[in-house]
Amino acid sequence: MPNENAIKDPIKLLGKINELHPSDIAYSLKKIEQKSEEDFFHVIKQLPEDILGEVILELPENLREDVYEELSIEKLTDAVDELESDDATDIIQEIEELDEEKAKEIFEGLEEEDQQEIDWLKRYEEDEAGSYMQTELFSANLNETIQESITRLKKGKAEDELENIHQVFIVNEDNRLIASILLEDLIIFDFEKTYEQIINAHEENRFKPFVVQDKDDIDDVAKQFEKYDLSVVAVIGYQDMLMGRITSDDILDVIEENATEQMYQLAGVDDDFEHEDNLFTTARKRALWLFLNLGTAILASLVIGIFDETIESYVALAILMPIVASMGGNAGTQTLAVMVRQLALGDIDFDNSKDAIKKEVFISLFNGLLFAILIGIIAWVWFNTAMLGLVIAMSMVINLFSAGFFGASIPLVLKKFDIDPAIGSTVLLTTVTDIVGFFSFLMLAKVILL
């Protein structure tokens, strides 16, 4: 959760830099930038290199771009040099998109080992596990004693080469991952013994590591983290060779990005343009979705137009029509949100969806009957016409049934055709509930009342 007590004074912020976490510094910088861009860049330029990169990564994308343009090559090189391999790769790639020549000079200013790691990580696609892994980890050979590896760990920590270490990954002579041992377990063993002796002395699966392939989809990796409550997983490649590790902080970012993307897509908003400074571009992107909504609204209006004589004969229908459509739309949105989320989590798919559809239809029918009775009585008392209450009650049941059925079915059908269920579901569902709601209500009114 962001710090609500952000330091908005640049001098005070610089005075407390050593006491604050990079995310808190970034939050304060966002507040400072809103008041003065000059003060924002002044603070950025004064930040120590060992935290500068982390602070930059915590800033919104539009501010990061401004920082990349403003800071010198030397300053950015020092900042990247302090980062872990995955974060360093992210910054290099972001700068490449803005200024390839600047990114090249920063890259060439890094140590050869860092360059090789960044080159390696850049080979992976954005949605592959390898693009999220860091190559810095604590590993040991089977023939190595615990004491020897602990000595290396101490040295690595002292030189700030290793951070956030949870376990030691055990590999053989070919760097093939064999096992992993938590540090809290490691300290109870005899430090003079080799890892091979320790592993052989315990049950076969005692030290079995959680692993993912470097080419695995990062969303599947995130599901493993959630399912098994993991803090880190090993990343392996060809012939189970240890490539790196993915830590929970990166997975939390993936989960947050996915949730945000889903929320935006359900609302018909393009996440890529929401942080644009150009208001016209953002407005234009939203307008495309609203144009599609306009088309569906016209369809609903055409249905109403079919029954214009019915409405003229019974004015009360015009007053009650929005109730039916609104209740259907809201009930459908509830079902849609549940189904899209379950599909995203992998809890259901097209093949085992029958029970989920039955459940949503039952809930919708139950609520349909409940509110049908309620609105039927209200309409009866309001307009002193019992048959009008019956019409709207029947229409309510029909529309809520369709809301439950189509709210559950539409995401499944889209998923079946490899279309993101969050995209387009809302418009399709709104079209169905509006048309079914208006048609059922007005048709029943025409048959029963007129």
Average pLDDT over residues 201-215: 89
Percent of the chain with pLDDT over 70: 96
DSSP letter assigned to residue 352: G
The fourth-level CATH superfamily of domain 139-248 is CBS-domain (3.10.580.10)
Residue 51 has pLDDT above 90, yes or no: yes
Where do the DSSP E strands lie in 135-248?
A: 139-141, 167-171, 177-182, 211-213, 232-236, 242-247
What is the per-residue pLDDT across 101-124, written as a single tens digit (0 to 9) for each? Answer: 999 999 999 999 999 999 999 999
Let me know if domain 271-448 sits in CATH 1.10.357.20: yes
Report the alpha-carbon angle 141-143-144, nearest 5. Answer: 65
The fourth-level CATH superfamily of domain 10-123 is MgtE N-terminal domain-like (1.25.60.10)
Average of per-residue pLDDT values in the chain: 89
- For residues 236 and 312, the model is more confident at 236
Q: Report residue 36 as tokens.
A: 């003065």
What is the per-residue pLDDT across 62-81, written as a single tens digit (0 to 9) for each? Answer: 899 999 999 999 999 999 99
Q: Report residue 356 as tokens.
A: 């989920």
Residue 276 has pLDDT above 80, yes or no: no
- The predicted pLDDT at position 414 comes to 86
Domain ranges of the chain: 10-123, 139-248, 271-448
Cα torsion angle, 93, 99, 104, 110, sign? negative
Label residue 407 exposed, middle or buried (CB < 10 Å: 0-12, 13-18, 19+).
Answer: buried
Q: Are strands 177-182 and 232-236 parallel, antiparallel or unpaired?
A: unpaired
Average pLDDT over residues 131-156: 93
- 42 Cβ neighbours under 8 A, 6+ residues apart: 10
Confidence label for 235 from pLDDT (cuts 50, 70 and 90): very high
Where do the DSSP E strands lie in 325-405?
A: none
Reduced to 3 states, what is the DSSP secondary structure of residue 281? Answer: helix
User: For the range 416-422, what are the long-range contacts, defined as Cβ-Cβ under 8 Å and sequence gap of 24 or more?
Assistant: 416/350, 420/265, 421/339, 421/340, 421/343, 421/344, 422/261, 422/262, 422/265, 422/266, 422/340, 422/344
Q: Report residue 323 as tokens.
A: 């109730």
Q: Report residue 329 as tokens.
A: 């739309």
What is the per-residue pLDDT across 392-402, written as a single tens digit (0 to 9) for each? Answer: 999 999 999 99
How many CB atoms neighbour CB 288 within 10 A?
A: 10
